Amino acid sequence: MPSKIRPDDWDRLFAPNAPRRGGPLRALITILITVAVIALLGVGTVYGLNYRQERFAREAATAAAYAPTAAAIRTATAVVYEQATATLVTALTATAQAKLATPTPEAGLAATVANGGNVREAPVNGRPLDQVNAGETVRLLAKTQDGGWLKITYARNGTTITGWVSRTLLTIDPAVDQQVPVG
């Protein structure tokens, strides 16, 4: 394959009357523009790195100044929550003990509801009338022959409700359990 460069091209391109392709001034301007672009890129890179380092230093200083304050706030908040929780637990314990210790005044045979559940109009498959809640005190009226169901009465919202509940829902003192009549 023959060479694409012809020796007479050199003579033709650089002859005194050859067509101009920009000349030395154009080459100088191209070199200056290239140098300026490279210099701008270098200066921009240096500025960006310095800006990033300054920003990192500012954020580190802010974090170092804020950390003791944040720790103090978190500690104070935890102490307040702990005190509030302790107060709430004390109040709830006192309320629960009061409910357990003092059954309703008219209740001769009383029990405490351990697990909430349905109050039925008849034992086993009776229609649900209401629900008792854990912690309530009820009066015992009677029990089934096998003792698995108890007839109770209690007041709620000014209404007296009487029905049957499963023994598993109540906590009954054994001495009281012996006194409940079968009925």
Which phi and psi (to 5°) does residue 68 adopt? -65, -35
Asked whether the predicted pLDDT for residue 105 surpasses 80, the reply is no
Q: Pull the structure tokens for residue 37.
A: 């672009």
Q: Average the pLDDT over 15-22 and give the result.
A: 66
Question: Average pLDDT in the 65-89 region?
Answer: 80
pTM above 0.85, yes or no: no
Q: What per-residue confidence (pLDDT) applies to 103?
A: 45
Domain boundaries 104-179, corresponding CATH code: 2.30.30.40
Spell out the domain ranges in the chain. 21-102, 104-179
Q: Tell me which amino acid residue 144 is.
A: T
pLDDT surpassing 50 at residue 169 = yes
Q: Please report, for the chain, how many H helices and E strands are present, in that order.
A: 3, 7
Is it the case that residue 120 has pLDDT exceeding 90?
yes
- pLDDT value of residue 165: 94
| pLDDT in the model for residue 106 | 44
> Mean pLDDT over all residues of the chain?
83
